[in-house]
Amino acid sequence: MRSVTARAGAVVATLVAGAILGCASAQAPPGGPPRKDPPDLLSISPDSNAVDVHPSRVVFTFDEVVSEGPAGSGPRSGLGAFFIVSPQTGATGIGWHRDHLSVAPHGGYRTGTVYTVTMLPGVADLHGNVRKRGVAVTFSTGPPIPPTMIRGRIFDWLEGRPTPRAYIDALLRPTNPKDSLDYVTVADSSGAFSLPHLPPGQYTVRGYVDANSNNRLDPIEIWDSVSVTLDSATDSARVELLAFLHDTLGPRVKDVTIRDSVTLRLTFDRGIDPSQTISAGLFTLAAKDSTAIPITRAVSGLAYDSVQTTHDRARADSIVRADSLRRADSGIALHDTAAANRRRALRLARQDSIARAKIPRPSRPAPVQDAVLELGAPLQPGMSYKLHIVGLRGLLGSTRPSDRTVSVPKPPPPKKRGSDNTDLKGESERPPPKSQ
C-alpha cells in the first residue's frame, strides 16, 4: 500500500563532483610537474563482506594527500557530502588524515548490524583532480550478511522521466521503535537505486528530490513512498517511486491558449487524477452578457495531440509518396526533390523517437496537465469570456473551483496604402508626369 508519511532526515547536501574544485582549502604543493590523475584508493578497512567485526571507524586510504573538501558547517558539510553510512544512526563524522579518511556515525557502529558505507564521486587531491567513481564497503558487526535487496527506480511522475540523484531511504518499522533503522542511498543518473543487505521486516521506502538543498523534505518538493515487506533473509523486492507534489490543493487553470475561434487549450498548475475522465461537463464558458458558449467536446491534451500527430504524419507521408511518383515519372532525380527533404525529416523524427524510447519511463502514464475544449460557436474578436471549472480532481483527490477570463484579441488593422516607405497621401496627389 502506498504511504504518504513524510519523515524528515539527513540528506546528502550535494552530489556535484566538480564542486570541490573551486573550494579546496589546501593548495597544491610546489615543485615538480602537476599530477593529472585523481587519487587512487589503495585500501578500505575493514574489508568488504567482513563479519563479526567491531570497527570504531571505516578508513579509506589513498596513494596521495586528498583535499579536505569545501568549507562549511553541519554533518553534511565538507567531506561529509561524499559519504553515506547506511543504516544511518545520526550525524556522520569524517576525519581527514592527509592520505586517508575515517568515517564513523555519531555513537559509533552498533553491534548486530550490517553496514554499507559508500564513498560517492567527488573526492579530490590537492591538484584538483576529482575521482569520478564511487565505491562501497559492506561489513557486519555481528550476524551474517543477508543477500536481501530492495532495488528500484524513482521518476518525476508529472514529467514522465527518471529523477537523478534523488535521496532514497528505507525505514525499518519493528515492533520496538528503539530497534528502527533507516537505510539510505542516492539514485544514479537514471533514477535507479539499490539498498542491499537489509534484515527481514516491514519497510517504508521513500524517495524525494531535495530541490533547495536544505537537507530535508519540504512541502514544496516532490516525493513518493511505498511499503515493502522482506519476509526472509533471502528475500528481495523491486519498487517504483512516482514522485509528485503532495498537497491538498486542487488543480487550477494556469494558462489558456486560443488555438482558433472554436478551440481552446488549457494548462493546469497541477496534475489531474488519472482515474478522472476529462469531459465537457467540467467546464462552462460564457460571454459578458452571460450568454453561454456551448462546449461540444473536452479531451486531454495528450489525446488531442495524438490524433493531430497521426493526422499530420499521414498527410506528410501522402505528400511524400505523391511527389516521389510525380518526380519519378518526370525523370527528375529523387535526391533533388522536396520530397527527399521531407523523407529525411521523417527519418530523423523516427530516429529521435527511438532514442526517446530508450529512456526509462514509469509504468503508469504521466498525469494529465492540460485539456483541449472544442466549442459549438466561434469566439468573437475583441470580446472577453469567463471560463469556469468545477470538479476537476488533483492527484490526491482534492478539488477547487477555478475561473479564468479569456480575452480574444482584435484582428490587426488593415495595412494603409503606402505604409511600406511610400507617400501616405497616395498616388492621386503626386504631380502628373510630363507630357512627351
pLDDT band at 161 (very low <50, low <70, confident <90, very high): very high
**Region of poorest pLDDT, from 79-93, 189-203, 268-282, 365-379:** 79-93
Taking only the tens place, the pLDDT of each residue in 8-18 is 343 333 333 33
Query: Strand order in 41-45's β-sheet?
Result: 41-45, 58-62, 100-105, 92-96
What structural domains and CATH numbers belong to the chain? 17-245 (2.60.40.3710), 253-407 (2.60.40.1220)
**Is 60 exceeded by the pLDDT of residue 103?**
yes
Q: What is the pLDDT of residue 316?
A: 65
Whole-model pTM: value is 0.72
**Is 80 exceeded by the pLDDT of residue 29?**
no
State the cell numbers at 384.
Answer: 472577453
**Is 50 exceeded by the pLDDT of residue 250?**
yes
**Region of poorest pLDDT, from 95-109, 384-398, 415-429:** 415-429
Neighbours of 336 (CB within 10 A): 10
**Region of poorest pLDDT, from 29-43, 174-188, 328-342, 384-398:** 328-342
Question: Residue 35 region, left (φ>0) first, then alpha (ψ -120 to 50), else beta?
Answer: beta
pLDDT band at 224 (very low <50, low <70, confident <90, very high): very high
For the segment 20-26, the average pLDDT, to the nearest whole number, is 41
**Is 60 exceeded by the pLDDT of residue 6?**
no
Q: What is the pLDDT of residue 173?
A: 86
Q: What is the pLDDT of residue 60?
A: 98
pLDDT band at 237 (very low <50, low <70, confident <90, very high): very high
State the cell numbers at 235.
Answer: 528475500
Q: Give the three-class secondary structure for 303.
A: helix
**Is 50 exceeded by the pLDDT of residue 21?**
no
Angle of helix 338-357 relative to helix 301-330, nearest 10 degrees, comes to: 140
For the segment 46-60, the average pLDDT, to the nearest whole number, is 96
Distances (CA, A) of 330 to 287, 324, 325, 341: 56, 10, 9, 18
Taking only the tens place, the pLDDT of each residue in 283-325 is 999 999 999 999 999 999 988 988 777 666 666 666 666 666 6
Distances (CA, A) of 48 to 42, 43, 51, 59, 82: 14, 10, 9, 12, 19
Torsion of Cα atoms, 6 then 10 then 12 then 13, to 10°: 100
For the segment 260-289, the average pLDDT, to the nearest whole number, is 94
Q: Judge whether 190 and 164 are in contact, CB under 8 Å.
A: yes
Torsion of Cα atoms, 298 then 300 then 302 then 303, to 10°: -50
State the cell numbers at 412.
Answer: 490587426
Q: Average model confidence (pLDDT) for the chain?
A: 83
Q: Judge whether 250 and 394 are in contact, CB under 8 Å.
A: yes
* Residue 117 β-bridge partners: 85, 137
Q: Please indicate whether residue 229 or residue 6 has the higher confidence score (pLDDT).
A: 229
* In the chain, % of residues over pLDDT 70: 76
* In the chain, % of residues over pLDDT 90: 60
**Region of poorest pLDDT, from 26-30, 87-91, 92-96, 190-194:** 26-30
**Is 90 exceeded by the pLDDT of residue 402?**
yes
Grid cell 480574444 in the structure block, residue: 408
Q: What is the pLDDT of residue 80?
A: 86
